[in-house]
């Protein structure tokens, strides 16, 4: 069975959309989305520098647009399941038919603006911890006042909190942790620091009419498959201030019998985790259009299982 996944914030790099806009219809599609949300996605995806696309209000819609463009380039595919990491959950909601593309981009634009505003209250950030025992690491983070905002599995936990707390972590790493890497994000996402954004996103969600997922939609909240569009939308609202449990999502992939995983543009992060946590699962990361042929080969060689078909019915 094939799972289609979408990365979260921090995966973007300057100019990463440039080769994708050479594909038929891509520039027009991106232009229409830009007009719909009042943000020049082509500029930010091709010309803007690293600081400009680090801005939460820019990065989030840019990532969703990139995921949708690259998935469209694959053609008509029918994954057995979909999931996204953090803001990638909105991309996944579009893959599952819960939201159409314009609704997904409208929601993520409001999400990015609300989270950017929440991040101005206190100087905060996030750092990835590589290696170590999860229980030991979480206890150490809590001692420092930090939140384990992303429990990603495969030996990776992302801590979030104030810059002072993150500096203390750098100076006092948990036992067994090899490295602490600051992430290219502008806030302590998925923590109490984002609570003001929840209300703004809830208000934005009232204008949407979600459909039930057409395929299995796996949620960051607890790794569970969500059956209704209303529940997907509710979880999208709440997740901005709650931890991402990507480790549990990957456990669900195992239970579903996933044999192939494609990560949409800008791919790499989630396929890296899958290679360590899901041995035997074939993976393809869509970084440029040159990766499309490998992804199509994986699609051709991967079929849905009866369990996946039942879950997505």
Whole-number pLDDT of residue 303: 61
Same domain, 106 and 32: yes
Q: What percent of the chain has pLDDT over 90?
A: 93
DSSP secondary structure code for residue 210 in this structure: P
pLDDT tens per residue, range 153-172:
988 999 999 999 999 999 99
Residue 123 confidence class, pLDDT cut points 50, 70, 90: very high
> For residue 36, what pLDDT is reported?
97
The pTM (predicted TM-score) of the whole model is 0.92
Do 138 and 45 have their domain in common? no
**For position 312, what pLDDT does the model report?**
30
Q: How far apart are CA 217 and CA 224, in angstroms?
A: 8
Check residue 151 and give left, alpha or beta (phi > 0: left; psi -120 to 50: alpha): beta
Options 85, 140, 190, 193, the catalytic residue: 190
Q: Residue 268: give the domain boundaries.
A: 2-119+191-312
- Say yes or no to pLDDT of 311 above 50: no
| Same domain membership, residue 111 and residue 212 | yes
For the segment 69-90, what is each residue's pLDDT rounded down to a tens digit? Answer: 999 999 989 999 999 999 999 9
CA 266, 209, 252, 312 dihedral sign is negative
Do 81 and 225 sit in the same domain of this protein?
yes
| Number of structural domains the chain divides into | 2
Looking at the fold, whether 211 and 232 belong to one and the same domain comes out as yes
Same domain for 206 and 159: no
In this predicted structure, the answer to whether residue 134 has a pLDDT above a threshold of 80 is yes
* pLDDT at residue 262 tops 70: yes
Mean pLDDT of 116-130: 94
| Separation between Cα atoms, residue 284 and residue 263, nearest integer Å | 6
Closest CA to 312 of 76, 71, 81, 91: 81
Whole-Å CA distances, 116 to 88, 184, 275? 17, 14, 32
d(CA 14, CA 256): 36
pLDDT at 304 over 80: no
Task: Give the end of a domain, one of 182, 203, 230.
Answer: 182
pLDDT of residue 196: 94
Note the pLDDT of residue 185: 83
The last residue of a domain, from among 182, 211, 226: 182
97 and 53 in one domain?
Answer: yes
- What CATH number is attached to the domain comprising 168? 3.30.70.250
Instruction: Give dist(CA 245, CA 239) in Å, integer.
Output: 10
**Is there a single domain that holds both residue 98 and residue 200?**
yes
59 Cβ contact partners less than 8 Å away, ≥ 6 residues apart: 9, 12, 53, 112, 185
pLDDT above 70: percentage of residues in the chain: 96
Instruction: Compute CA distances 103 → 5, 169, 190, 207, whole Å.
Output: 19, 39, 22, 9
The model's pLDDT over 210-243, given as tens digits with 9 standing for 90+, comes to 999 999 999 999 999 999 999 999 999 999 999 9
Contact 268, 285 (CB under 8 A): yes
Q: Which among 34, 70, 86, 127 is annotated as catalytic? A: 86
Q: Give the domain CATH number at 260.
A: 3.40.366.10
Q: In the prediction, which pLDDT does 219 show?
A: 98
Looking at the structure, tell me whether residues 108 and 257 fall in a common domain. yes
Give residue 313's pLDDT band: very low, low, confident or very high (50, 70, 90). Answer: very low
For residues 196 and 105, membership in a common domain is answered with yes
For residues 84 and 110, state if they share a domain. yes
Residue 160 pairs with which residues in a beta bridge?
126, 147
Per-residue pLDDT for 306 more than 50?
A: no
| Residue 11 predicted with pLDDT over 60 | yes
pLDDT of residue 308: 35
Average pLDDT over residues 135-157: 95
Indicate whether 211 and 134 sit together in one domain: no
The reported pLDDT for the residue numbered 186 is 82
Q: Is 86 a catalytic residue?
A: yes
């Amino acid at each position: 069975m094939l799972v289609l996944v979408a990365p979260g914030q921090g995966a973007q790099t300057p100019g990463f959309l440039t080769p994708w806009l050479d594909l038929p219809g891509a520039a027009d599609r991106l232009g229409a989305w830009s007009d719909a949300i009042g943000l020049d996605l082509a500029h930010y995806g091709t010309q803007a520098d690293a600081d400009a696309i680090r801005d939460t209000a820019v990065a989030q819609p840019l990532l969703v647009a990139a995921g949708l463009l690259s998935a469209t380039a694959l053609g008509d595919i029918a994954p057995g399941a979909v999931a996204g990491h953090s803001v990638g959950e909105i991309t996944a909601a579009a893959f599952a038919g819960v939201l159409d593309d314009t609704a997904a981009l409208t929601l993520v634009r409001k999400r990015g603006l609300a989270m950017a505003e929440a991040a101005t209250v206190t100087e905060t950030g996030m750092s990835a911890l590589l290696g170590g025992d999860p229980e030991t690491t979480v206890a150490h983070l809590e001692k420092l006042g930090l939140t384990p905002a992303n429990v990603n599995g495969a030996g990776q936990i992302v801590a979030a909190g104030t810059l002072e707390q993150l500096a203390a972590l750098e100076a006092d790493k948990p036992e067994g942790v090899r490295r602490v890497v600051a992430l290219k994000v502008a806030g302590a996402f998925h923590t109490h620091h984002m609570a003001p954004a929840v209300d703004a996103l809830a208000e934005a969600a009232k204008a949407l009419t979600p459909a039930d997922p057409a395929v299995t939609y796996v949620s960051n909240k607890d790794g569970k498959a969500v059956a209704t569009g209303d529940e997907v939308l509710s979880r999208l609202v709440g997740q901005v201030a709650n931890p991402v449990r990507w480790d549990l999502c990957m456990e669900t992939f195992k239970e579903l019998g996933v044999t192939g995983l494609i990560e949409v543009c800008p791919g790499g992060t989630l396929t890296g985790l899958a290679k360590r946590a899901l041995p035997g699962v074939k993976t393809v990361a869509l970084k440029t259009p040159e990766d499309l042929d490998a992804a199509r080969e994986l699609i051709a060689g991967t079929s849905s299982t009866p369990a996946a078909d039942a879950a997505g019915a």
